[in-house]
Amino acid sequence: MSELTAPPVRARFPVIDIARGVAIIAMIIYHLCWDLAYFRFIPADVGYDPGWVLFARSILYSFLFLVGVGMALGSRVPTDWPRFWRRWGLLVLGALAITVATLFAFPDTFVYFGVLHAIALFTLLALPLRRAPSWLIGLIAVVVLVLPAVFSNEFFNAKAWSWLGFWTVAPPTNDLVPVFPSFGVVLLGLLAGRWLIGSRWSTRLAAIAPANRLARVLQTMGRWSLLIYLVHQPLLLAVLFPLAGWLQPQIAMRQTDFLNACQRTCVEGGTTPGLCTTYCQCGLETVEANDLWDPVFSGTISAEQQALLDAGNRRCSAVIYPELNEPK
């Protein structure tokens, strides 16, 4: 086949866009659940529960891996530098917007090096490696992935250096994607994309086209992933914030939190579960009747409030142990 009739090299594979679309949906699901937990619609500890953390990390690493794959596929055609820098500039602006927004919304845990910050930096770091030998890319990837597992220092606990990833205590932030080990995932994607280009699967995967509406929607979401990332949280919050103010799920949830904590402490003290349930329900009535929610959950209790709690504890103890009411 002559050069004039050879099929053009495609920088994008529809299947990669579809995969990115799946990752976007997973991310929206995670953030929706995080928001629901934050507003106390659900009791899940989305930010710290191991299962949820694994889910979040899987989504993050999927995005980073696809960044590397996309860079490898894009290296087959001449780089449109004006387009590249426009998209990179949008990444930076999006990252700055998230930092500013979270600084106002969550000043103690604002996002200073999240997903978009990381992708913007990792894209630049990976640029000179696109045509490097595969063994060199693999070596750097291994070092980046393994180093934080064998080295850490308190110096990196500070926000100014925590983005590198060598902290001993994770810094307080709603999203942090450290260079080590996260950049290693991008490099693995770069290697995978390079392998794909040189394999017999390249032509087959490039030829895959969305065959149904779902696949086309996923492909479109993958192509517009940056925009979706930027707007989905404001849209979710625009719905959930007023809904939480109307339904006030935190009231029902604080009752559940109180009863669970009381039950656990009571059983650990040697009382049977059935009696503990009765005792804790009685204690809940004391807290609500005297409006002691803030003192109980903050731990700042005045002498007068403590007297009310002590009186309630004596009354509830007498409920489960009637003999305490008998005159001596």
Helix axes 115-126, 50-74, angle to 10 degrees: 30
- This prediction's pTM: 0.81
3-state SS, one letter per residue, for the chain? CCCCCCCCCCCCCHHHHHHHHHHHHHHHHHHHHHHHHHCCCCCCCCCCCHHHHHHHHHHHHHHHHHHHHHHHHHCCCCCCHHHHHHHHHHHHHHHHHHHHHHHHHCCCCCCCECHHHHHHHHHHHHHHHCCCCHHHHHHHHHHHHHHHHHCCCHHHHCHHHHCCCCCCCCCCCCCECCHHHHHHHHHHHHHHHHHHHHCCHHHHHHHCCCCCHHHHHHHHHHHCHHHHHHHHHHHHHHHHHHHHHHHCHHHHHHHHHHHHHHHHHHHHCCCCHHHHHHHHHHHHHHHHHCCCHHHHHHCCCCHHHHHHHHHHHHHHHHHHCHHHHCCC
Residue 199: predicted pLDDT: 82
Residue 2: predicted pLDDT: 35
> pLDDT digit of tens for each residue in the chain (328 aa)?
333 333 445 557 889 999 999 999 999 999 999 999 989 898 888 988 999 999 999 999 999 999 999 999 888 888 889 999 999 999 999 999 999 999 998 899 999 999 999 999 999 999 999 989 999 999 999 999 999 999 999 999 999 999 999 999 989 999 999 999 999 999 999 999 999 888 888 777 777 788 899 999 999 999 999 999 999 999 999 999 999 989 888 877 888 888 888 889 899 988 899 999 999 999 889 888 888 888 777 777 888 888 888 898 888 888 888 765 555 5
Amino acid identity, position 233: Q
Residue 6: predicted pLDDT: 38
- Rounded to whole angstroms, the Cα distance separating 15 from 306 reads 63
Residue 325: predicted pLDDT: 58
- Rounded to whole angstroms, the Cα distance separating 184 from 64 reads 9
Task: Enumerate the domain spans of the chain.
Answer: 14-247, 249-325
Residue 299: predicted pLDDT: 73
Residue 7: predicted pLDDT: 42
Residue 100: predicted pLDDT: 95
